[in-house]
Amino acid sequence: MFRVKGDVFGCVPGHTRRVALWVKLPEQRSELDRVAGPYVAVGSTTSNQYTYDRSLYVYDLLNGASYAVAGLSSPMPALGQTTGSPATPGPWPIEAFALSRDGRTARLYATYAAGANASAQPDGQLLDVIGPHHFHHTLATTAAGAIAPASLTYHHGTVTWTQGGMDESVKP
């Protein structure tokens, strides 16, 4: 990574492509969250008097492609409807994520009952793998708290986690 006048770029040693990861804005805070081979996960938060936005994107430093892992948008003050991907009534739904060297991301997130409000408690968890070219594969759906967020890993093409005290793994 390198900075040019506050803007941050990523590149792979030995390659000439530079990929813009974020631009410097007074109301935005961004940070490199994970690195796996030529893939980087960048988290960003933007807040001003009108909105609060939070996002997590994965960038491929070899070709410049990116995809969203999660996003949240809420009006300020919280007078309107919060929207999120994955769906959420308000809180940041991502409990854990793991980035693999093939560019795919395993993500564990809270799920909510239909019509839940911003103060609702999660009613479940969903573990899935997403990636470039619209890749999406669901691995597990559980009751809230059944999967330990700290147990989630993604190495050598295999996602592992602990669910209800038992070790689980799958190669998506």
For 2-27, how does the pLDDT look when each residue is reduced to its tens digit (9 = 90+)?
878 878 888 888 888 889 888 888 88
Q: 52 or 25: which carries more pLDDT confidence?
A: 52
Looking at every residue in the chain, the average pLDDT score rounds to: 90
For the segment 17-46, the average pLDDT, to the nearest whole number, is 89
CA dist 118 to 69, 78, 96, 114, 131, Å?
21, 10, 20, 12, 28
Alpha-carbon radius of gyration of the chain: 17
pTM for this prediction: 0.89
pLDDT higher than threshold 80 for residue 78: no
For the segment 115-133, the average pLDDT, to the nearest whole number, is 90
Q: Residue type for 75, please?
A: P
Closest to 57 (Cα-Cα) out of 82, 74, 40 = 40
- Angle of CA points 11, 7, 134, to nearest 5°: 55
pLDDT, tens digit (0-9, with 9 covering 90-100), for 126-169: 999 999 999 999 999 999 999 999 999 999 999 999 999 999 99
